[in-house]
């Protein structure tokens, strides 16, 4: 075996290893160490690799070119996804070099929307295990289980139960694709070092009876436990994380909506954690609204905002918008009156008996209605935000109603993946006669109508969570509060240039995603220092200090 000179194996470079006879193959099979054909002649001799590789010594650019050629020959994005995950298992540096070389091309393959198909077929395309599965069977010994992870300095865990994956509903253990993909974006978009990232699927069973009956399904074949039992289990998980990985931030992702809201309320003041669907989504939505309002010369506190969907994303966005309006001088009560929500059972109003406390505060006196157009006409929203999982719910009557009421209606169709979007970019622009300021959870292509081209935005939390992750990686805050997400939203909106706004673009270019996320992280880290959340010593120059900590995909 190749001798490890330190316990932090994942952080080693090949030059720090000592070879013993016959040991080179283990380096080639370790994705964190493998350089494959890029091992130099000296390294090959030193590591016992002579004869194990073809004679050519290649640089990483030649390796990237070969990967791109392989990818071109794949017929579908799912095949490209499988290939890239496999590449990550062989050579992590090359994987990140490829995906970071062209984020516009690779984000939709590693993440939304391809990841939706990858999750749906997770059990079928399963090859090699990634991250950890903490199941109900581990109750009472979660600490011991977490200690099986080979890296000790874990800084971020992205954890899901699979209870609400994108707009796909409960897909149980198949949801593991999401923690894996989200953490890959920490690195691909914000250069957070990959070795400190740990995806976890908490396997509590699934309500999805088709999956429970599927012979390939890999998770527990049982119904999830009652809330009290789940909470006890998650308490044990969170305590175990504090003990085994004391510097770790827990990123909650894609839990069933009610679980998501309950868990965030339970842990936000006790441990370093955040919920991306609640807080990250709210931040990217606020950023898009702020850009739209710069285009319209408006203020957030003057808007009336209607949501289709009142789950974890809807309530999370509503709450952050209230905070933003309060900053502009409204009282909390005044701000809440500017927001209304409509869910699967219709308008949220005081007569509803099924509302949670977090929904009740938005149940304003109004005529009960299950007709979205009727509610639009009564509430007269300036912005309509879809977080309903209901593809096509913004039909022409809805967009017409918004367009009758507003010179430039703001329409965000945030549900994922593509087929769950409440309306497509093409529909929004065509039905509004090119007047809509539109964004969606996925990136729709530009739309040309009568010779005029429109540029839809992608209001997806990946503009936010990698930046918050990078700021937390560097500044080591004790907590992540809502203000972090307001600061991140403002930093993101500020990076949309006047020229981009003139074209109706609501977000910065994804081609620049790495520098955009670093700039957002700088602002967030500054806030963490200013507010006393940070525990790292404050550097003189926060930007160059953060830039010095970025992961770089080279050998």
Ligand X SMILES: NC(=O)C1=CN([C@@H]2O[C@H](COP(=O)(O)OP(=O)(O)OC[C@H]3O[C@@H](n4cnc5c(N)ncnc54)[C@H](O)[C@@H]3O)[C@@H](O)[C@H]2O)C=CC1
Q: Is 476 left (phi over 0), alpha (psi -120 to 50) or beta?
A: left
* 167 and 420 Cβ atoms separated by less than 8 Å: yes
Binders of Mg ion among residues 267 to 286 (CB under 5 A) are 277
Q: In the bound complex, what is the minimum distance in angstroms from residue 415's beta carbon to ligand CC(=O)C(=O)O?
A: 7
Q: Indicate whether 340 belongs to the interface with ligand X (CB under 6 A).
A: no
Q: Is 128 annotated as a binding residue?
A: no
* Spatial distance between the Cα atoms of 293 and 382, rounded to a whole number of angstroms: 11
Across the beta sheet with 457-458, what order do the strands follow? Answer: 346-347, 339-343, 305-308, 383-386, 410-413, 437-440, 457-458
- Residue 130 partner contact from Mg ion, ligand X, ligand CC(=O)C(=O)O, none using kind-dependent CB cut-offs of 5 to 8 Å: none
Binding test (CB under 6 A) with ligand X, winner from 154, 178, 393, 522:
393
Of 16-24, 244-252, 302-310, 502-510, the segment contacting ligand X by CB under 6 A is 302-310
Active-site residue, from 35, 182, 420, 523: 182
Q: Indicate whether 203 belongs to the interface with Mg ion (CB under 5 A).
A: no
Binders of ligand X among residues 401 to 420 (CB under 6 A) are 414-416, 420
Q: Is 231 annotated as a binding residue?
A: no
Q: In the bound complex, what is the minimum distance in angstroms from residue 144's beta carbon to Mg ion?
A: 29
What secondary structure does DSSP assign to 495-511, as a single string?
Answer: TS-HHHHHTT--S--GG
Q: How far separated are the first and last CA of the chain, in Å rounded?
A: 22
* Spatial distance between the Cα atoms of 246 and 69, rounded to a whole number of angstroms: 43
C-beta closer to ligand X: residue 319 or 389: 389
C-beta closer to Mg ion: residue 277 or 349: 277
Residues forming a β-bridge with 386: 308, 413
* 551 and 191 Cβ atoms separated by less than 8 Å: yes
Q: In the bound complex, what is the minimum distance in angstroms from residue 387's beta carbon to ligand CC(=O)C(=O)O?
A: 9
Q: Indicate whether 170 belongs to the interface with ligand X (CB under 6 A).
A: no
Q: In the bound complex, what is the minimum distance in angstroms from residue 314's beta carbon to ligand X?
A: 5
Token pair of 259, please? 């679980």
Q: In the bound complex, what is the minimum distance in angstroms from residue 43's beta carbon to ligand CC(=O)C(=O)O?
A: 41
- Spatial CA neighbour of 168 closest among 206, 215, 125, 124: 206
Q: Indicate whether 441 belongs to the interface with ligand X (CB under 6 A).
A: yes
314-346 burial by CB neighbour count: b if 16+ within 10 A, else e? Answer: bbbbbbbbbbbbeeeebeeeebbebbbbbbeee
- Residue 314 partner contact from Mg ion, ligand X, ligand CC(=O)C(=O)O, none using kind-dependent CB cut-offs of 5 to 8 Å: ligand X
- Spatial CA neighbour of 282 closest among 359, 385, 363: 385
Question: How many chain residues interact with ligand X (CB under 6 A)?
Answer: 29
Active-site residue, from 81, 96, 97, 111: 111
Say if residue 398 is preceded by a cis peptide, omega within 30 of 0. Answer: no
C-beta closer to ligand CC(=O)C(=O)O: residue 174 or 461: 461
Residues forming a β-bridge with 384: 306, 411
Q: Indicate whether 460 belongs to the interface with ligand X (CB under 6 A).
A: yes
C-beta closer to ligand CC(=O)C(=O)O: residue 132 or 464: 464
Question: How many chain residues interact with Mg ion (CB under 5 A)?
Answer: 2
* Spatial distance between the Cα atoms of 335 and 180, rounded to a whole number of angstroms: 37
Binding test (CB under 6 A) with ligand X, winner from 194, 311, 381, 466:
311
Q: In the bound complex, what is the minimum distance in angstroms from residue 14's beta carbon to ligand CC(=O)C(=O)O?
A: 36
Q: Is 34 annotated as a binding residue?
A: no
Binding test (CB under 6 A) with ligand X, winner from 80, 97, 164, 490:
164
Q: In the bound complex, what is the minimum distance in angstroms from residue 405's beta carbon to ligand CC(=O)C(=O)O?
A: 28
Is 182 among the residues known to form the active site? yes
Phi, psi (rounded to 5 degrees) for 357: -55, -35
Question: Alpha carbon of 3 to those of 15, 50, 487: distances in Å?
Answer: 12, 17, 46
C-beta closer to ligand CC(=O)C(=O)O: residue 196 or 442: 442
What secondary structure does DSSP assign to 27-87, as a single string?
Answer: HHT-TTT--GGG--HHHHHHHT-TTSS-S----HHHHHHHHHHHHHT-SSHHHHHHHHHHH
- Spatial CA neighbour of 173 closest among 126, 225, 141, 230: 126
Q: Indicate whether 254 belongs to the interface with Mg ion (CB under 5 A).
A: yes
Q: How far is CA 401 from the centre of its chain?
A: 32
Q: Is 460 annotated as a binding residue?
A: yes
107-131 burial by CB neighbour count: b if 16+ within 10 A, else e? Answer: bbbbbbbbbbbbbbbbbebeeeebb
Please tell me the total number of residues recorded for the chain in this structure.
Answer: 555
Q: In the bound complex, what is the minimum distance in angstroms from residue 416's beta carbon to Mg ion?
A: 8
Binders of Mg ion among residues 315 to 374 (CB under 5 A) are none
Q: Is 254 annotated as a binding residue?
A: yes
Is 367 among the residues known to form the active site? no
- Residue 324 partner contact from ligand CC(=O)C(=O)O, Mg ion, ligand X, none using kind-dependent CB cut-offs of 5 to 8 Å: none
Q: In the bound complex, what is the minimum distance in angstroms from residue 112's beta carbon to ligand CC(=O)C(=O)O?
A: 6
Q: Indicate whether 263 belongs to the interface with ligand X (CB under 6 A).
A: no
Binders of ligand X among residues 269 to 298 (CB under 6 A) are 277, 281, 284
Q: ∠ CA(35), CA(128), CA(552), 5° rounding? A: 35
C-beta closer to Mg ion: residue 14 or 199: 199
Binding site for ligand X (CB under 6 A): 164, 166-167, 257, 277, 281, 284, 308-314, 343-344, 387-390, 393, 414-416, 420, 441, 459-461
Which residues have a catalytic role annotated? 111, 182
Residues tagged in the binding site annotation for a divalent metal cation: 253-254, 277
Binding site for Mg ion (CB under 5 A): 254, 277
């Amino acid at each position: 075996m190749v001798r490890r000179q330190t316990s932090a194996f994942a952080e080693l470079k090949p030059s720090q290893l000592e070879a013993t006879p016959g040991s080179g193959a283990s380096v080639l099979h370790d994705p964190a160490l493998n350089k494959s054909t890029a091992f130099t002649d000296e390294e090959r001799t030193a590591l016992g690799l002579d004869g194990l590789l073809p004679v050519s010594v290649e640089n990483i650019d030649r390796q990237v070119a070969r990967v791109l050629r392989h990818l071109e020959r794949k017929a579908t994005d799912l095949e490209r996804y499988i290939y890239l995950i496999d590449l990550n298992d062989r050579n992590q540096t090359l994987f990140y070099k490829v995906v970071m070389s062209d984020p516009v091309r690779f984000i939709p393959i590693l993440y939304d929307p391809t990841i939706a198909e990858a999750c749906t077929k997770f059990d079928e395309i399963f090859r090699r295990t990634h991250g950890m599965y903490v199941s109900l069977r581990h109750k009472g010994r979660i600490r011991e289980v977490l200690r099986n992870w080979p890296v000790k300095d874990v800084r971020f865990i992205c954890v899901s139960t699979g209870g609400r994956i994108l707009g796909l509903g409960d897909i149980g253990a198949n949801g593991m694709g999401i923690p894996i993909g989200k953490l890959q974006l920490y690195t691909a978009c914000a250069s957070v070092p990959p070795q400190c990232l740990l995806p976890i699927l908490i396997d509590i069973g699934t309500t999805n009876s088709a999956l429970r009956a599927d012979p390939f399904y890999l998770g527990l074949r049982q119904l999830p436990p009652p809330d009290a039992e789940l909470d006890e289990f998650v308490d044990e998980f969170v305590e175990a994380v504090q003990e085994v990985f004391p510097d770790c931030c827990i990123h909650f992702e894609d839990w069933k909506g009610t679980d998501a809201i309950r868990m965030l309320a339970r842990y936000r003041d006790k441990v370093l954690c955040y919920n991306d669907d609640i807080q990250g989504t709210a931040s990217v939505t606020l950023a898009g609204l702020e850009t739209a309002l710069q285009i319209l010369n408006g203020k957030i506190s003057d808007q009336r905002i209607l949501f289709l969907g009142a789950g974890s994303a809807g309530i999370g966005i509503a709450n952050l918008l209230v905070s933003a309006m309060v900053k502009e001088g409204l009282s909390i009560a005044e701000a809440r009156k500017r927001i209304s929500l409509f869910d699967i059972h219709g308008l949220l109003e005081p007569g509803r008996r099924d509302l949670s406390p977090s929904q009740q505060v938005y149940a304003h006196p109004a005529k009960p209605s299950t007709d979205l157009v009727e509610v639009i006409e009564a509430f007269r929203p300036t912005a309509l935000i879809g977080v309903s999982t209901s593809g096509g719910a913004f039909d022409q009557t809805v967009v017409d109603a918004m367009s009758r009421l507003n010179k430039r209606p703001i329409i965000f169709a945030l549900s994922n993946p593509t087929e769950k979007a409440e309306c497509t970019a093409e529909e929004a622009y065509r039905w509004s006669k090119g007047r809509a300021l539109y964004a969606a959870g996925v990136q729709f292509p530009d739309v040309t109508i009568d010779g005029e081209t429109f540029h839809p935005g992608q209001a997806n939390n990946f503009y936010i969570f990698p930046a918050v992750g990078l700021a937390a990686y560097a500044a080591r805050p004790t907590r992540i509060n809502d203000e972090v997400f307001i600061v991140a939203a403002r930093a993101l909106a500020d990076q949309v240039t006047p020229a981009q706004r003139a074209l109706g673009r609501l977000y910065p270019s994804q081609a620049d995603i790495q520098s955009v996320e670093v700039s957002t992280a700088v602002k967030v880290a500054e806030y963490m220092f200013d507010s006393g959340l940070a525990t790292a010593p404050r550097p003189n120059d926060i930007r160059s200090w953060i830039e010095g900590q970025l992961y770089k995909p080279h050998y």
